[in-house]
Every structure is written in structure tokens, then in C-alpha cells.
Amino acid sequence: MMSRRLCRFVGIVVVAVAVGWVAGEAVAAPYSALVMEVESDRVLYERNADEIRHPASLTKMMTLYLVFEALVQGRISLYDTFYASSYAASRSPSRIGLRPGDPLTVEEGILALVTCSANDAAATLGEGLAGSEPAFAAMMTRKARELGMSQTVFRNASGLPDPEQVTTARDMYRLGKALLKHFPQYYPYFSTSRFQYRGRSFHNHNHLLENYYGADGIKTGFVNASGFNLVASARRNGVRLVGVVFGGNSSFRRDAHMRDILDDGFAQIEGRESSVRFAGFDQGYVPRLLIRPGESRVSAVPKKARRAAAGKTNGHRARVVAARPSPGTQKGMSTHAKRKPVEAKPLPARLRSSRTSVKFRR
């Protein structure tokens, strides 16, 4: 009798896990978010911005910062070659498939990080610059302190899980701003949509480049402990915002929330009032597209969130907000983005042909 009950329980658990994976969602990790205007450091949206989080592959932003710094200082060139160690080649996915002894140019490594977030390439770059990944992680943490990232500690070059590798949304904003300000000649790499390496095509994980007007970088990330993370930059009419989101339970909801808070930030820049917005993975916010046919907007919101709308949650006044796409919005693009032209920044001549596709032949 007990064995039957146990088997039934195990079956239910297996089905539940399978459904979760099919839906493409994970259990939400602790949420935090921040949107700031880069020139003035004006805060336009803030939620738990100074609470400790795990950076996941946002870590590669610092790996790239140190690569760009070495390029500017003349210690390396884009065409210098590093060779993958057995350790680097053994890093878990995402990867470009390096084997021990395989060559990797600095530029190939940069593109592997900004597009497919390759952990084997990140380790190879770190070892090439510092001799070992632990030594490189120490360099990363020292640089974080120099940039004012007082709550950040790095333990590897890739962002693979490590309980001691931590940061905050505000620190990630500081790093994103530093990349923009200190290395404008290399920042266009972040808008590369794909590149080819040894016959394989690798696409950029940052889908805001495809569906948010003005977006031109920066980096996505995911580990179980952090959820789906994103640092994104967008520029409209001479104004640049950088947004940070931690804790998404799917890349779709993370991206939708980033578009929402960036839209709200640009609206504030234009003189409009800020509106209260919750992430679907935080306070029961239900985008209109997620409501089933025939279901009311109120009934689609969890009871806990509906009760919060009439009271207080965690010391903050809560309000349930549903997405209201305006007429003219196409293919999921932001309404504000459709009204405003994108101010394109010219690329260096060397990069103009590679903004959307970079191909390497061996």
C-alpha cells in the first residue's frame, strides 16, 4: 500500500517538473531591479537594488571589461591567440565547444561571450590574461572595488554557480555604465546578433536587441540561484538608460519586465509621472497576453496579489497592474519606442560590417 502511494507521489512530482520545463519557467529567485539615466545617475525605477544577488553570466561583463582594458593598454591585441586548457574546455554549457589545446583569438572570445555567453571561452580569456581563473577572479574583484562596486565578489570568469560570487543590481548598473563610458570603441560588440565559429552559428541571447527600439546591449544571465537576469541599455533622443533585472522565472517574463520599466523610465524623462509596475515573477503581475481567453483580468491574478491590492505587502503599498498594449504596437515592441525615432550611433569602420553578423573561417 505504501509503495503504491509512494509511486503515485513520485509520478506527480515528475509530471510537475516536466510541466515546468515545458513551460520554460523556473521557480523565481529573489527579485531586484533598477533603471537609471546614465548621464545624471537619476534613479527612474528601483526595487531591492542593494540586496545581494548572484550575477550568473552577468559576470562576463567584468571579464569583458578587463579584456577591453588590456586592449586599450596595448597588453594584447584582438588577433592574439590563447589556447584552451583542459580546465577551460571542461566548463559546462553554454559553450562553443573548445577542446584542450584549441586556439581562440581575443576577438573570437569577445564575440563568444557577448552572443552565446560561452563559459569555455570566458575561462580561456581569464587564464590567458592572468595565468589561472582564480587569479583572474581576484583581478575582477579588485577592479570591481575601483569602479565602486562595493558589494560584488567574483570567483570565476564565467558566472557558473559559486555561493561566494555575489553582486547587487546597483553594482551591475555601475559596471554597465563603466563599459559604456570607458570603452565606447568596443561597446558595439554587445549588439552583435550572431557569429560563426568552426561552422556553427551562435546567436545573441539578448532578445531586446530584436524587439525593443533603441536597445544596443548588454548581457543576459541565468543560474538556478539567481533566476533569469539581464542588464540592458537603450538610447532614445540622446538619452541613455541602463536597466537591471534579477530573479526572473523565465527569459520571456524577464524581458517583458525590462521593456516595461525602461518604457516607464523614458516616460519619466519626457515629464510624465511614474506608474507602479510589478514583475510577473514578483507580485502577481499578469501581462495581458498571458490571460486565457474568457478569463477576466482580475481572476487571472493570484488571490494573494488581489488581497495585496487592498492592503500592504512587505511595507509597500501594492497595486495590481495589467499590461495594456496600445493601438499600433507591433510584434511585442514598446509603444513608446514606436513613437520615437532611434538615434543610431555610428560604428567604427572595422565593426560596421559585423554589427549583425560576424563570421570566422578556419
Of the listed 32, 57, 85, 226, which one is catalytic?
57
Q: Has 117 been annotated as catalytic?
A: yes
Of the listed 117, 191, 250, 334, which one is catalytic?
117
DSSP assignment string, 92-126:
PSS-----TT-EEEHHHHHHHHHHT--HHHHHHHH
Residue ranges for the binding site for substrate?
Answer: 219
Task: Locate 131 and state its grid cell.
Answer: 595565468
Distance of CA 170 to the CA centre of its chain: 14
Sequence-separated (6 or more) residues with CB below 8 Å from residue 191: 209, 216, 217, 355
Q: Residue type at 260?
A: D
In three-state form (DSSP H/G/I as H, E/B as E, the rest C), the secondary structure along 257-301 is HHHHHHHHHHHHHCCCCCCCCCCCCCCCCCCHHHCCCCCCHHHHC
Q: Residue type at 102?
A: D
CA distance 136 to 212: 34
Sequence-separated (6 or more) residues with CB below 8 Å from residue 226: 29, 53, 54, 55, 56, 246, 247
Environment class of 83 (CB within 10 Å of its CB; exposed 0-12, middle 13-18, buried 19+): middle
Task: Locate 308 and state its grid cell.
Answer: 495585496
Contact between 219 and 58 under an 8 Å Cβ cutoff? The reply is yes
Q: Which of 155, 152, 93 is nearest to 120 (CA)?
A: 93
Q: Has 353 been annotated as catalytic?
A: no
Q: Which of 295, 299, 233 is nearest to 262 (CA)?
A: 233
Q: Has 32 been annotated as catalytic?
A: no
Give the 3-state secondary structure of residue 179: helix
Contact between 236 and 212 under an 8 Å Cβ cutoff? The reply is no
User: Among all residues, which ones are annotated catalytic?
Assistant: 57, 60, 117
